[in-house]
Amino acid sequence: MRKKRPLITVLLIALAALVLVSSCAAGMPADGCSANSGTASSDPTSIPQSAGSSSEPSGHDPIAPSPSSLNTSAPDPTSTVEPEAGPILEIVFLDVGEGDAALLICDGHAALIDGGSAGKSSFIYSYLKNRSLDHLDYVFATHSDEDHIGGLAGALNYATAGKVYCSVDSGDTKAFSSFKKYVEKQGNSIIVPSKGDVLDLGPVKIQILGPINRSDEDNNNSLVLRAEYNETSFLFTGDMQREEEQDLLDSGCTLKSTVLKVGHHGSRNSTSYPFLREVSPDFAVISVGSNPYGHPTEDVLTKLRDADVEVFRTDLQGNITCLSNGRTVEFSVERNRDADTVGTRSGTETDPTTSPGEDEVTYILNKNSHIFHYPWCSSVGQMRESNKICFTGTRDEAIDMGYHPCQRCNP
């Protein structure tokens, strides 16, 4: 016969069952209640509230995910949140008169492309010092002309250089000797880069595009550099003329660039229509000063105007600064923001064969090489005095005498 339980026991069992049912209904964890156990729900309305909790805000947001439950997968492609901005690339086209100098700065790295003439050494030294740029990752001398290489002595006198590049590693001019002296004083040597070399300047890629072929004309041995920062790009051309432009076009290399540093200060021998079409720049910078050569020439200014390129010029606007965030570029100038940069020439250019109102021109003949030059040609300064002949006559007469026109000044 089954023994009956005492009444007190029955009451205790009934009370325990009632408590258990109430707990499950309220969502509180209890033995035998499996709802929400061990699983974090993504629905904020299902997150349990503790018994006796208040709707008043506390120090912890009850619907905020805990660190362990944050989603670390790829962001929602429909999100409108902009990605965090990267570093800014700053390019300063320095006003060094009739010469070239451009400084690139990005994310704690810096590079200098050319330094103007020797007379600008102090200016380059002071500019770097004022910016506290005492180390340059790279120094580039596009070629050995004095108006590009002369001021680099000032840069190397103030700042150390990681690596130094030039289109040649030797030269017999005073400017080149000074440049080389300061390079070697730092324990460096001049590197002649190869076409296709790529250098990193922080997040910026600098590619060597040329020279592709060696030329008897030094301008056509200019280093050609293309700096790329995400969606923006910048083409530095030294004193490159049509011959080297054609070499680049024939090579099939990428020339399209946001900004073009116009070759050879806007000389008529540079910036051909085929080259300009391939580069297709939005902006152009002409580094130029007062000069007797007619730089920048009307021919080049017309091409840039016809191509709807916005032009900046150091002779009219001083230092020119370009900033890139990797997507867009923005320019600022030292002065004359609204200057007519395509309607004014800095120099006066004479007719290529005769002086105004005259049939004869003064040329300098080199009796050793049998080449004739304009008196202002940089090659004349490199000639031995014993080889110079001052000749006044026509171009045809010089040719009839057995002389050939210089490919640099194109008399």
Q: What is the SS3 string spanning the chain?
A: CCCCCCHHHHHHHHHHHHHHHHHHHHCCCECCECCCCCCCCCCHHHCCCCCCCCCCCCCCCCCCCCHHHCCCCCCCCCCCCCCCCCCCEEEEECCCCCCCCEEEEECCEEEEECCCCHHHHHHHHHHHHHCCCCEEEEEEECCCCHHHHCCHHHHHHHCEEEEEEECCCCCCCHHHHHHHHHHHHCCCCEECCCCCCEEEECCEEEEEEECCCCCCCHHHHCCEEEEEECCEEEEECCCCCHHHHHHHHHHCCCCCCCEEECHHHHCCCCCCHHHHHHHCCCEEEECCCCCCCCCCCHHHHHHHHHCCCEEEEHHHHCCEEEEECCCCEEEEECCCCCCCCCCCCCCCCCCCCCCCCCCCEEEEEECCCCEEECCCCCCHHHCCHHHEEEEEECHHHHHHCCCEECCCCCC
CB-CB contact of 276 with 256 (8 Å): no
- pLDDT, residue 7, reads 54
Domain boundaries, the chain: 89-333, 361-405
**pTM (2 d.p.):** 0.67
Q: 233 is written with which tokens?
A: 């790009």
CB-CB contact of 163 with 188 (8 Å): yes
| Lowest model confidence (mean pLDDT) among 5-14, 148-157, 183-192, 230-239 | 5-14
Residue 329 pLDDT greater than 90, yes or no? yes
What does the pLDDT average to over 308-314? 98
- pLDDT, residue 85, reads 67
- pLDDT, residue 396, reads 80
Residue 28 pLDDT greater than 70, yes or no? no
**Parallel, antiparallel, or unpaired: how do β-strands 371-373 and 404-405 relate?**
parallel
CB-CB contact of 233 with 197 (8 Å): no
Residue 79 pLDDT greater than 50, yes or no? no
Instruction: Kindly report, residue by residue over 188-200, the tens digit of the pLDDT.
Output: 999 999 999 999 9
Instruction: Kindly report, residue by residue over 98-152, the tens digit of the pLDDT.
Output: 999 999 999 999 999 999 999 999 999 999 999 999 999 999 999 999 999 999 9
Confidence of residue 397 (pLDDT cuts 50, 70, 90): confident
| Lowest model confidence (mean pLDDT) among 80-84, 195-199, 287-291, 345-349 | 80-84
Instruction: Kindly report, residue by residue over 332-350, the tens digit of the pLDDT.
Output: 999 999 999 998 666 544 4
**How many whole angstroms separate alpha carbon 324 and alpha carbon 230?**
9
Query: Which range is most confident: 80-84, 265-269, 366-370, 407-411?
Result: 265-269
**How many whole angstroms separate alpha carbon 341 and alpha carbon 348?**
16
Backbone CA torsion sign across 98, 271, 333, 235 = negative
For the domain spanning 89-333, the CATH number is 3.60.15.10
Q: Look up tokens 């380059």; give the residue.
A: 124
> Between 361 and 112, where is the model more confident?
112
**How many whole angstroms separate alpha carbon 226 and alpha carbon 197?**
11
Backbone torsions φ then ψ of 388, nearest 5 degrees:
-85, 135
Backbone CA torsion sign across 306, 307, 308, 310 = negative
| Lowest model confidence (mean pLDDT) among 83-87, 122-126, 311-315 | 83-87
CB-CB contact of 257 with 235 (8 Å): yes
- pLDDT, residue 10, reads 52
- pLDDT, residue 5, reads 53
Question: Per the omega criterion (within 30 degrees of 0), is the bond before 44 cis?
Answer: no
Across the chain, what does the average pLDDT equal? 81
What does the pLDDT average to over 152-157? 96
